[in-house]
A = this chain, B = another copy of it.
């Protein structure tokens, strides 16, 4: 008999977010679940790690019999600490989310949800981040739960290459309009930033980051296209950032002494 799968669950919205509770519910039939999640919201933390201060872990009992810990650091810290101090080794899979809000296209780079999953993938743990295109606290997670279970199960059943990582975004649609899961590539999109400038009671300026999403990629194989057309997008992700095409081009053009 195959031993039970060990499933590490984490997120970036913090351990009390509805998204992680829904993710635990989605994957608990698939193996033994251990949760290690930030003790506070960590959205937009990207691949930050904590270098200048120490970290804390606290065990909590809020998920009905599931072993769960809060970590005082970033999502990436959670994964590192989980492996070294809680699990004492690699789990069979790491699932991150379900994020409240999109992490498609360029958003993957800013996303704590995806950075946690990427950290696990760097460690050789098959990993996936789930994000739901709905920010509401009381959003209906029925479809995201179903997607999380289906993708996690598929990953556990497949012999994947080492370091396999997926970025899954789920549209906010009524069941009747939802079309299923579609493999996609990362759309070439970005944020048009504008800072909201205000003045404090002393008259000094301060700035809030705001911005408008701008998709500049009109292919029908992108994650943005999938989401706009009723599908969940599933993007396989890797972390060799070398631009081989530019390397090739400059190999001939640039001569250094």
Interface residues of A (CB under 8 A from B): 41, 43-52, 54-57, 74, 76-77, 80-81, 83-85, 106, 108-110, 115, 118, 122-123, 150, 154, 158, 160-161, 164-165, 167, 180-186, 188, 190, 193-195, 197-198, 204-209, 235-244, 246-247, 250-251, 253-254, 256-257
Contacts and interface: CB of A to CB of B under 8 A. Distances in A.
Contacts of A185: 240, 242, 244, 247
A93 B118 CA distance: 29
Contact of A81 (B41, B55, B195, B204): B195
Nearest to A179: B257
Q: Is the interface of A mostly helix, strand, loop or mixed?
A: mixed
21 contacts: A45-B48, A46-B48, A48-B48, A48-B110, A49-B110, A49-B209, A54-B207, A55-B207, A55-B208, A56-B206, A57-B207, A84-B195, A85-B195, A108-B241, A109-B118, A122-B190, A123-B190, A154-B254, A184-B247, A238-B242, A239-B241
Contact of A44 (B51, B122, B161, B194): B51
Contacts of A193: 80, 83-84
Given A51-B209, A207-B57, A254-B183, A236 B240 contact: no
Given A47-B110, A183-B254, A195-B81, A206 B158 contact: no
Contacts of A160: 246
Given A49-B110, A209-B55, A241 B247 contact: no
Contacts of A45: 46, 48
A188 to B, nearest CB: 7
A198 to B, nearest CB: 7
A250 B45 CA distance: 30
A46 B44 contact: no
Contacts of A115: 46-47
B55 A239 contact: no
A241 B241 CA distance: 7
Given A108-B241, A123-B190, A186-B242, 17 more contacts: A44-B48, A45-B46, A47-B48, A48-B48, A50-B209, A55-B195, A55-B208, A80-B195, A80-B209, A81-B207, A84-B193, A84-B195, A109-B239, A161-B246, A183-B251, A236-B250, A237-B243
